[in-house]
Amino acid sequence: MPTSQPIDLRSDTVTKPTPEMRRVMASAEVGDEVLGDDPTVQKLEAKFAEKLGKPAACFVPTGTMANQTAIRAHTEPGDEVICSEGGHIIHYETGAPAALAGVMIRTIRGERGTFDVDDVTPLVRPDAYHFPHSKLLMLENTHNRGGGTVWPLDQIQRVCAEGRRHNLKIHLDGARLWNAHVATGVRMSEYAKPFDTISCCFSKGLGAPVGSAVAGDEVAIARVRRFKKMFGGMVRQVGILAAAAIYAMDNHIERMAEDHANARRLAEHIGNIKGLSVALGPVETNIVYFDLGNGVNMNAAQLSERLKARNVHMMATGPRRIRCVAHLDVNTAMIDEAARAIDEVATGRVAVSV
């Protein structure tokens, strides 16, 4: 039997603006951003830069544009970017590093999306005209394909110090850096300190409908803004969307602790279902991956489709792996109902109350 309301755990991008956020958007003061006179965008950029402890920031429509403008700001065609083999820029940005910046990607195989000094050092190219130039080192915190992994601060610091030793620029894909902050209590500015640029997303855990931003020094952000224009990211009265991001930063950061607790709760339920196992544990933030064992007589796509018929939406990310993401539009009761549906569909029996 389908659940009484849709339970959408495919991503934290599916959140809808709250009524309070919609009211703020409707009353936002706006101007022409392309001409540099949208006051709400300016307010957002100043607020974001201050939170990240950087001199400047640039509001962009998407997380992909945030990362790609940063890559282009730091590199020239023929340069090389070093990052995790599971990086978002490789798997979910449609080949943009090659298409937009003309760069090579050199990957690191690390633990759940993290890596250390000894992983970076061998990948830095000798300075010779035979090779692409090693120019940019990228980290992702939290790491999506790693299961919402939080990078330890001391590991970030030593990896970035190694990058500096090789004269690399360093960018953080911090789309879910808010989650790392809430999970650890480490300030956003402390996480941001070792990086030249940092991108964060407003439309995932914070629940705004659109938008990301890049923070850095004035020179880097001037280049980010240039490539934002070049890539088609300049819009006109975009203060309506910037207002939603401001509201999200003011009201939705600390509440993400609820999402983390719900993700752990879901993982505990799944761990008790015969034939299923939690993958990429432990669950540190709001992302849960689970695997279907050989005893489950369907693959991940089939399980996902059968759950969809129950009004429970999840995302198959491999032949026998599914991803679930907790967010502000999913409460604890919905997590329990989703777990019940998973149990019934995966085992082919009526589950006991969870």
Mean pLDDT of 105-132: 96
pLDDT at 3: 62
- CATH 3.40.640.10 boundaries in the chain: 31-251
CA distance 223 to 268: 46
Read off the pLDDT band of 204 (50, 70, 90).
very high
pLDDT at 5: 86
What pairing do the DSSP bridges indicate for beta strands 133-140 and 79-84?
parallel
| The length of the chain, given as a count of residues | 354
pLDDT in tens, 161-178: 999 999 999 999 999 999
CA distance 171 to 281: 26
Read off the pLDDT band of 203 (50, 70, 90).
very high
* CATH number for the domain running over 31-251: 3.40.640.10
pLDDT reading at 257 higher than 50? yes
pLDDT in tens, 207-230: 999 999 999 999 999 999 999 999
pLDDT at 352: 41
pLDDT at 350: 52
Read off the pLDDT band of 281 (50, 70, 90).
confident
pLDDT in tens, 232-242: 999 999 999 99
Looking at residue 99, the DSSP 8-state letter turns out to be: I
What pairing do the DSSP bridges indicate for beta strands 169-173 and 197-201?
parallel
Mean pLDDT of 183-206: 98
What are the structure tokens assigned to 59, written together? Answer: 């509001």
- CATH 3.90.1150.10 boundaries in the chain: 7-14+255-347
Fold of the domain spanning 7-14+255-347: Aspartate Aminotransferase, domain 1 (3.90.1150)
User: Which residues, in sequence order, are CB contacts of 7 under 8 Å at separation 6+?
Assistant: 311, 312, 313, 330, 334, 337, 338, 341
pLDDT reading at 353 higher than 50? no
pLDDT at 354: 43
Read off the pLDDT band of 1 (50, 70, 90).
low
Read off the pLDDT band of 348 (50, 70, 90).
confident
Mean pLDDT of 313-340: 97
pLDDT at 4: 72
Mean pLDDT of 85-101: 97
Percent of the chain clearing pLDDT 90 (strictly above): 96
pTM of the model: 0.95
Among 119-123, 205-209, 218-222, 294-298, the least confident range: 294-298
